[in-house]
Chain A
Amino acid sequence: MTRRALALALIATILRAVLHIVLGKGGVGKSTVAAAIALSAAKRGAQVLAIELSPPAGLARLLGVSPIAPGQAVEAHPGVWLSFFDGEAALAEYLLQTFGLRRLLNRVFAHPVYRAFASAAPGLKELMAIGKVRDEVRKRRLGGPLWDTVVVDAGASGHALQYLRMPQAAAGAFGGGLVRGQSVAIDTMLRDPDRTALHVVALPEEMPLAEAEEVIEVLRHELNMPVARLVINRCREIAPPGTRDLIAGLNNLGAADLDHKQVRQALHDAAVDALVWLDIQERGIAETERHVKMQATRLPLLQPEPFGLEQLGQLAMALEGN
């Protein structure tokens, strides 16, 4: 197979996973990537649930809808639904399911000792939230799963790793009991590359790339979770050969009137700036690809406005290898 055919085959494997978890440093465009994955799956006819593990934020803005209560799914586009999970609400829901007794429990939830317990019990809230994600993956309707694809915007890497780490930690910390059994099941799902694809997002700049490498290192060696792909968002267009020389001589070309000079200066500045960033981008990506031993998927830097369905569609195409 050619290199490109190999890459496409790899992408096809990734896209077959039911659960897609997107993580990366703050501000790198995790939500954008999550939204693009959701829309591309829906385009192929899948019923997709996109989930934010926080109060409605980036995904809600990009998809233009905002669920009101945790766990509620709102249809954003044909085939794409949005929901958000909150650890504390998930814990409360778990207790309600286990005990019933809503009126009593509502008083309990307001009690300071319960609140202290819920905050302090190691990772209990994160565990409940990721458990809810598994519930969604397992939901059935007549003749098949309710969702063909579930995409999770797991938030900034530190917190996202916390969600992924919890099931393993809980399986170890809780000697027996109900939670241990569920923790093991969640962890097994997260580690299974046929069911779960982890997407680590970065920008083509030093610090975000370094952080992505660290995250991949933790995922692979501490959590034993395979990384499906490294996505580099906002990549600049490579300059054609000869650009540098042309830019250097740009100010000596053509008419000498003020208007033309001004334009040439502006073009020159834009080009010089872009070339500096391109150097950082190409050096950084090559180095990171070498360190993590995988090829990155590049997404183009797009105009900031308007940023909507059309732009998400362009990114989805890039994710599919087109």
Chain B
Amino acid sequence: MTLGKVIDEHRLVVCVGTGGVGKTTIAAAIAVGAALRGRHAMVLTIDPARQLARALGLAAFTGSGEQVAVEVWQDAHLNPTGSLAAAMLDQKGAWDAFIRRHAPSDSVRDAILGNPFYREMSTSFAGSTEYVAIEELCRLDESGQYDLIVLDTPPAGNAIDFLRAPARIDRLLDPEVANWLTSPYATIGRKAWRAATGGVRFVLRRLERATSAQTLREMSEFFRAFEGLFDDIARRSKRARALLGSSSTAFALITGPREDTRAETEALVRGMQDHGVQLGAIVVNRVHPFPGGHDLINAPLDEVLAEIPDRDVAGWLQRTYALACSISRAERKRLDTMQSKLRPGIGHAEIPELPHDTHSLNDLVVIADSLW
């Protein structure tokens, strides 16, 4: 099945993958291709390069999203029947906006926004970027402005983090944790919980003394202020899970053809299975096709090289060609093995490497065309 077909059949495409494989570019190309085919697409990126903004004719990516202007399409001699918007995830801004939307009063809002624990959590808590990306996704989905949303996920070392994010935030913002922190002497129920409680308090206090930080106090102040928001968070979290698990959502794995990405990719596929997520498509980016299109076997290579008058050039040519072939051969073997392991019905695409970074809208169209 082509990747294009998978995209045509879904409203939401989540691009996951390890770092350095060109995930953001592929996410953008998917949205460009869909816009050319009549969809009203939005691509939500995490950490886009300036070149990508330039390719889409945007001065910069913003948190709220920008439409790609008609003139930009025209300059590239393209005439989309749909439309394309692009946004960048502004992690801090998105969390703050979330607090502003849900805080029951101005004083609660200010207490949370000014809390050091909140500031730390909203910028660097593991899973925080992922969580707020999912939250933004829900918002874009609810806006009803787009019939396709493509989400680029954070360049985490381990892309499974993305799937774990809602559970992690749930755990952190667990009312039981809040209870424990806000009402120190209340009876909290479960026996095991109580047994550990004294120890936890002891260790955390000592750890605080060692670090002379005030994390514990900040945490309990944060949770006290946050109490009114717990129901909202729980509701959003449930909605996010429903959206990610919905049949209109497809997960696309973006990977590379090199050996070093293979192990990470396999771990990712296993992790997705463990989380009950069906893989919708695999895109292998930056594949090196054989020079001339084929692996030439028993070809008169030496004869042709002997005809070249300059021995230095002939030598360079021979080494360059041999290296290119050995790269293509190794990739082909690896990709064939990978493909044979895929369950039928998974979308599959290979994108040949472009000899430069994505500089123009037409570069994205070239990639998109190899997806459909």
B189 within 8 A of partner (CB): no
As a 0/1 sequence over residues 127 to 170 of chain A, the CB contacts with chain B under 8 angstroms (1 = contact) are 00000000000000000000000000001101100000000001
B362 within 8 A of partner (CB): no
- A114-B200, A253-B308, A263-B299 known; A27 vs B210 contact (CB < 8 Å): no
CB within 8 A of B213: which of A115, A174, A265?
A174
Contact present for A107 and B196 (CB under 8 Å): yes
Contacts of A273 in B (CB 8 A): 291, 324, 355
Query: How many positions in chain A have a CB within 8 Å of any CB in the partner chain?
Result: 82
Contacts of A58 in B (CB 8 A): 260
Contacts of A271 in B (CB 8 A): 317, 320-321
CB within 8 A of B263: which of A61, A277, A304?
A61
Contacts of B229 in A (CB 8 A): none
Distance (Å) between the CB of A69 and the closest chain B CB?
19
CB within 8 A of A113: which of B120, B181, B304?
B181
Contact present for B21 and A27 (CB under 8 Å): yes
- A112-B174, A304-B326 known; A206 vs B292 contact (CB < 8 Å): no
- A95-B203, A98-B210, A119-B125 known; A156 vs B19 contact (CB < 8 Å): yes
A117: nearest chain-B partner, CB-CB: B204
Contacts of A254 in B (CB 8 A): 303-304, 307
Contact present for B206 and A26 (CB under 8 Å): no
CB within 8 A of A240: which of B168, B293, B313?
B313
Contact present for A240 and B19 (CB under 8 Å): no
As a 0/1 sequence over residues 251 to 275 of chain A, the CB contacts with chain B under 8 angstroms (1 = contact) are 0011100011011111111110110
Contacts of B211 in A (CB 8 A): 121, 124, 170, 174, 177-180
Contact present for A156 and B157 (CB under 8 Å): yes
Contact present for B303 and A301 (CB under 8 Å): no
Contact present for B196 and A177 (CB under 8 Å): no
Contacts of A205 in B (CB 8 A): 357
23 inter-chain pairs at a CB distance below 8 angstroms, sorted by A residue, are A27-B256, A27-B261, A57-B264, A58-B260, A95-B207, A98-B206, A111-B199, A113-B204, A116-B172, A120-B172, A122-B124, A122-B215, A176-B212, A207-B51, A207-B357, A236-B320, A262-B299, A263-B303, A265-B292, A266-B291, A273-B291, A304-B259, A307-B259
Which residues of chain B have a CB within 8 Å of any CB of chain A? 18-21, 49, 51, 117, 120-121, 124-126, 155, 157, 168, 171-172, 174, 176-177, 180-181, 192-193, 195-197, 199-200, 203-204, 206-207, 209-213, 215-216, 219, 256, 258-261, 263-264, 290-294, 296, 299-301, 303-305, 307-310, 312-313, 316-317, 319-321, 323-327, 330-331, 355-357
| 6 A-B pairs closest in CB distance | A26-B19, A27-B20, A266-B292, A26-B20, A270-B291, A240-B312
Which residues of chain A have a CB within 8 Å of any CB of chain B? 25-29, 31, 54, 57-58, 61, 95, 98-99, 101, 104-105, 107-108, 110-117, 119-124, 155-156, 158-159, 170, 173-180, 205-207, 236-237, 239-240, 242-243, 246-247, 250, 253-255, 259-260, 262-271, 273-274, 276-277, 280, 301, 303-305, 307
**4 further contact pairs, Cβ within 8 A, besides A266-B296, A268-B292:** A26-B21, A159-B157, A240-B312, A280-B356
